[in-house]
Amino acid sequence: MTNKQQGVARAAYLLGFERFIAPVLIKLIYWIGIVAILIAGASSFVNASSEGIGRMLLTLVALLLSLLIWRLLSELGILAFNIYERLVEIRDLMARQAPAPAAIRPALPESD
């Protein structure tokens, strides 16, 4: 395959929804969110320094909880796509291993 053919094949792969781009975008948004949470946490920590050590500790705990919750939410988004990919793999494996099932006949004959 030439480079041009490979490029066309990759474009068709992405445009044909064979591979999702959302997990990549979720990871990018995750890292942007981490930076935003750290900036907001640092700002709150500096503002809390004038109110005493208790407020500073509370701000630190809130920062850590925010980071944990943000991670969990991001993982849930990626998890949905990973589940789908695994189900597709299972479907493909089952299609290769077992013959197609015979038509199911009704137990009772139909009456007119």
Residue 27 lies in a domain: yes
Provide the number of structural domains found in the chain: 1
pLDDT tens digit sequence for 56-98? 999 999 999 999 999 999 999 999 989 988 998 898 898 888 6
Buried b (16+ CB within 10 A) or exposed e, 23-50: beebeeebeebeeebeeebeebbeebee
Residue 14 lies in a domain: no
- pLDDT at residue 102, as a whole number: 61
Residue 46 lies in a domain: yes
Average pLDDT, the chain: 85
Residue 40 lies in a domain: yes
Closest CA to 96 of 88, 84, 107: 88
Contacting residues for 37 by C-beta, under 8 A, at least 6 apart: 63, 66, 67, 70
Amino acid making up residue 83: I
Q: How far apart, in whole angstroms, are the C-alpha atoms of residue 71 and residue 65? A: 10
Residue 77 lies in a domain: yes
- pLDDT at residue 112, as a whole number: 55
Residue 102 lies in a domain: no
- pLDDT at residue 79, as a whole number: 94
Residue 39 lies in a domain: yes
pLDDT tier at 9, thresholds 50, 70, 90: confident
Are 13 and 19 spatial neighbours (Cβ–Cβ below 8 Å)?
A: yes
pLDDT tens digit sequence for 27-59? 999 999 999 999 999 999 999 988 889 999 999
- pLDDT at residue 65, as a whole number: 97
Residue 97 lies in a domain: no
Task: Quote the domain boundaries for residue 69.
Answer: 20-82
Contacting residues for 13 by C-beta, under 8 A, at least 6 apart: 19
